Amino acid sequence: MSSIATLKDPSQERQKQMIAGHFTRLAKAKESGRKVVSTFVPGNLTELLLSFDLLPILPEINALQSGMRQRSAEFIQKAEKIGHSEDVCAYVKCDLGMLESGNVGPTGEVLPRPDLLLLSYTGCFTFLKWFELLKESTDAPVAMLQVPYQGGGRATPEMRDYVVRQLREVIIPALERVSGKKYDEDRLKELLARSAKAEDDLVWVLESAKHRPSPIDAYFGAVYYVGPIFSAFRGTEDALHYYRELREEVEDRIRRKEGPITPDGPMGEQRFRLVVEGPPNWTSFREMWKMFHSEGAVVVASTYTKVGGVYDDGFRHDPNRPLESLAEYCLGCYTNRNLPTRASMIARYVQDYHADGFLVHSVKSCDSFSAGQLLILRDVEAKTGKPGGFFESDLVDPRYFSAANIKNRVESYLQMIEQRRSKVVAS
């Protein structure tokens, strides 16, 4: 994801170059003869696409990049002028507005229209409507993988087999038609083996936040960490090198007992350890991060860093079971899990990472995350005995970001934690 920080670790510079290079390859796809597949972050089948030499393009990444570049407001307004409601997901309106405005990506180059729309996760109903609109705009064919919701709290063998059958009978044939190549399972296995190694390093980095002081911020800082593995690089040598370098940097910070690098420099004293539920706000990302680190609050675990894959519960892409592994990945996406499962995950983070409390960031236009969050908050409070907090904004629509309101809520919440500590000491 695009950098906003003035101070960067070497791995962040590498990541910035990787993502810029990918957008350049997308811009030159037509002249190089590469085919482009539009897909989403949750449940993405990156290794399968790369095994066909197809380039993935992700509409959510386009939208959040636009938000960080302060372009999303104009794109959203353009989408609303052509008839899209204010209540529609801001990602959708931003992406459609960008498409209507020339489809210029973050490197200043025009992005290509997709050759295929691959909907590989159906847990978000908005994704279905989003691709309907993209089909109207691009006239690209659609391949849809129906992924059962984990309503009972777990993925069953029958669910996995249902997804595998669709991969064989629907998705792979569609990719063969678009690419003009036959399915090569040996190549897919090589990509999945690299994915598993990168996932090992990512999990190690995220779990390093159990240290005191935490060497990372597992929300604001970690959105950079998950960028390559959540987008176009899972299964690549680039991802292997990036996550190895990132891990070495974090290991070095642990040895020196240092905290994370923030946009304003190295973080100072860590007075509060928090868990955060929900996506960040991208249009005011740096400002929002400062509200936390300036108060000595470090995020030690978050749910957003699991939206593209929950790896810390043991899942890894398995080259010995290629299609079954991809199916289990799609089924295990964070927002494909029911509310009790999500609440239990957050409660485990609060306990395992010795957090002082947890905050819910409710996003106005994202029902996948926000529906049921107050129930989750009360459940986690009951499970952990730790206080929960709640604040609201949006993903990329700056009209719904109130800096003063959020700052007041965060500061009040931290003061409440401090008061509770004082009472415990006094008693």
Write out the E strands in 259-334.
261-262, 265-266, 272-277, 297-302
Least confident of 46-55, 131-140, 181-190, 354-363: 131-140
Per DSSP (E only), the strands in 107-248 are 116-119, 142-144
Q: Are residues 242 and 377 in the same domain?
A: yes
pTM of the model as a whole: 0.94
Letter string b/e over residues 152-164, b meaning 16 or more CB atoms within 10 A of that residue's CB: eeebeeebbeebb
Q: Write the pLDDT tens digit of every residue in 326-363.
A: 999 999 999 999 999 999 999 999 999 999 999 999 99
Q: Residue 427's pLDDT is what?
A: 62
Q: Is the pLDDT score of 392 beyond 50?
A: yes
Element (H, E) at 360: strand 357-363
Distance CA 103, CA 97 (A): 8
For residues 115 and 261, state if they share a domain: no
What is the residue range of 92's domain?
10-187
Q: What is the pLDDT of residues 413-423, one digit of tens each?
A: 999 999 988 87
Q: Does residue 291 share a domain with residue 410?
A: yes
Residue type, 304: Y
Quick one: 171 and 221 in the same domain?
no
Please tell me the total count of domains within the chain. Answer: 2
What are residue 274's DSSP bridge partners?
299, 357
Element (H, E) at 358: strand 357-363
Residue 199 and residue 317 in contact, taking contact as beta carbons nearer than 8 Å? yes
Residue 4's pLDDT is: 40
Quick check: 220 pLDDT over 90? yes
- Is residue 200 domain-shared with residue 178, that is, in the same domain? no
Are 335 and 214 in a shared domain?
Answer: yes
Same-domain pairing of 181 and 197: no
pLDDT at 2: 39
Domain-embedded: residue 137: yes
Q: H/E element holding 195?
A: helix 185-207
Residue 4 belongs to some domain of the structure: no
Has residue 2 been placed in a domain? no
What is the pLDDT averaged over residues 74-97? 93
Q: Are 394 and 424 in contact (CB under 8 A)?
A: no
One domain, residues 183 and 197: no
210 and 128 assigned to the same domain: no
Q: Which of 326, 291, 10, 287 is nearest to 192 (CA)?
A: 326
The continuous run of DSSP H or E covering 361 comes out as strand 357-363
Q: Is the pLDDT of residue 425 over 90?
A: no
